[in-house]
Structure 1
Amino acid sequence: MTANRPEGRVAELCTRMRSFIDDEVVPREPVLSQHDDEAAAALTRLKSRAKDLGLWALGHPEEIGGGGVPFLDFVYLNEIIGRSEFGQLAVGSVSMQDALMLHRHGTDEQRRRWVPGLVSGEILPSVGMTEPEVAGSDPILVRTAATLDGDHWIINGHKWFTTGAREAGYCTVFARTEPESTALHRSISAIIVPTDTPGFEIVRSIPTMGHDPSDHYEVRYIDVRVPATNLLGARGNGFVVAQDRLGPGRIFHAMRWLGQAQRAFELMCARADERFAHGSLLSEKGEIQRYVAESAAEIHASRLMTLDAARVMDAGEDARVQIGLVKFWGARMLHNVIDRAIQVHGALGLTADTPLERMYRQARYARIYDGPDEVHRMSTARRLLRDGETAPWK
């Protein structure tokens, strides 16, 4: 493996993945974005095609039925998958972080019930963490409560931005289970709630930046009763479970953002090479050349940072600094590159005639979900100030 280029089996998989995403998924984006029966049928066909091509669930561990591609190698594949926002659904990588979380923290029964379906794509997961009444960036403020009633948990609360809740087979809900005297970071537990449980009520699909409906849902939990055995991990250990999910999840985002940014970069360059204005092609103008050079540099830097974070994770080491760096840097990079691409396209970039306007909205979300940029900068800086002698590049 060279510094930033795949080799061997991974290179071959990347070639086939690029053909599948660009030639089969991207052309179907206008249909897939409609979120109707036609879109569901198109996605089902793409999933079947990915399985036939040997491109399904490549990053899931082999012991749970996946392709077993290591984190470092999966960076290259997930960049290609990320060229389309529907790529992870089409190739089964959308469930990866939840499958890993269950594989690590679930009981034997929980793994038997949910993991095979996650890997095969028959079950989609969702997570209930964020609440509208409190700051989502500070999870110790969670108000949703779960109390034991015999051998069942009774859950009451209010969540929103529970992505995929309507289609999901279950939701991992983070709720306060411990007395007020308990330390805040030991007071939250993770509980598996099947979405067909009485009292699990979807209030609405939340309109977001022109997406209506969106796949983000507001959910109320009204006396939701689930077996005590649905506790995921140890009681009061919800933050450990959450971080084990969010750590890989953040780097998965960073991988896919590379694909989105690279696609926007290619569109920008193609537009600059074909558009004539004010006496010359756009590509001959110094300001546009600056856009190209700065975008290439930011994408390359983000790719190397993502590879380094994956390297540390593969080695079984603490990658919190590397993940924090690439989360806020990658989100900003994505926004910058797509913004420049829109500028080069002019009025066309604001229309749905290109994917850029939709990509731009997704890029704005990136600076908030799984922790806002400000929190990642703050927490990463604190670790570097505390442990400066173990800088992430050493």
Structure 2
Amino acid sequence: MRAVPKRDENSLLAAYHGGLRRHWPLSARAFAHLLAYGGQGGWSASERQLLPDAVRRAGLSMRDRKGLHRLLNPAAFPFTANPLKNKQLFAQVAQAAGLPIAAACDLAREDLAGWLAGETDIIAKPSFRSKGEGVERFQRMDGGWRGGGGPIAKAALQARLRDLWQAGGVIQRRLPTHEMLADLSPGALPTLRVVTCLDEVGAPEACGLALRLSAGGARPVDNFNAGNLVLGIDDWGACLTAWLGGAGRPTRHDRHPTTDAVIVGTPVPDLIGAIALAGRAHLAFATGFTVIGWDVGLTSAGPVLIEGNWNPGTDILQLVSGRGLADTRLGALYRHHLDQLPADRWRAARVMEWDRRGR
């Protein structure tokens, strides 16, 4: 939904909404203005809790961000053909490009029972989901398998995994956390979010960083919205103060709330390699994608590509940096690409669009 107000608070919104105003017919402009007047655009109540006024004045809201990314990433739809949404397709593209990803079971080529016989700790991820939704961990313990809901029979586990794979999901070996971060992310693999955007000459540039850590608990994910930690990284590659997400206003933490391990000042291992991996990944996925948010796992064996996101969240970048997106390098590149968009791309944008899985 594109709700377009009569006036914009910053230069990034002016570039985005201004392009829509110039290219839309009067009926579309009137509908978008009516939605804005009715409070359907701009900042949500949760974002107003998350980000201070000064950041929001120069910022990009979730509602505006998705519409903007639809313009800059035309290959996002349909989801079945989007390698940044279809997890099996993502693995195929990454493997073909020689990018490091988690070992996985391909049921089209190998027997699930035989693969499981050699595994002790696996992660099952449904396709076409986001924010860690539906991700499950299964461990072999005391001769049997156990998931988040307790023990599970071998036959039941195999049936569940087959159904997940047939629906487009992936079955992966769980990756071990880098030893330097073991006490800072006790419940899940920590990931470095690297937002890359094509620069003025078409080369991928890392424009935003945020480290995500598990706060502990049963869920095998590190997503901020799931009640975990996110933090910025200083110029020397060390952790800044972390923010704990979940219900209500986020809280600041210099030490881990579960393990009491020191967060601030801890060096981020393999930081340069993780950023470089994100840049290599964007080259492999660049067709139809101007901006991508990468999740790079920081493992004991080095950086591993977990997934890419066609509609990367900008709230956590604005939270950890304390700056609205319009005042950042990423905001400058957004404006550059919006200025370069052909008129037919603007005209094809709709006030209301649906997320299409298939054609």
Question: Which category describes the TM-score, using the shorter chain as reference length?
Answer: under 0.3
Higher RCO (CA 8 Å, separation ≥ 6 residues): 2
Is the helix fraction higher in 1 or 2? Answer: 1
Q: TM-score, length-normalised on structure 2?
A: 0.24
Q: TM-score, length-normalised on structure 1?
A: 0.23
Is the strand fraction higher in 1 or 2? Answer: 2
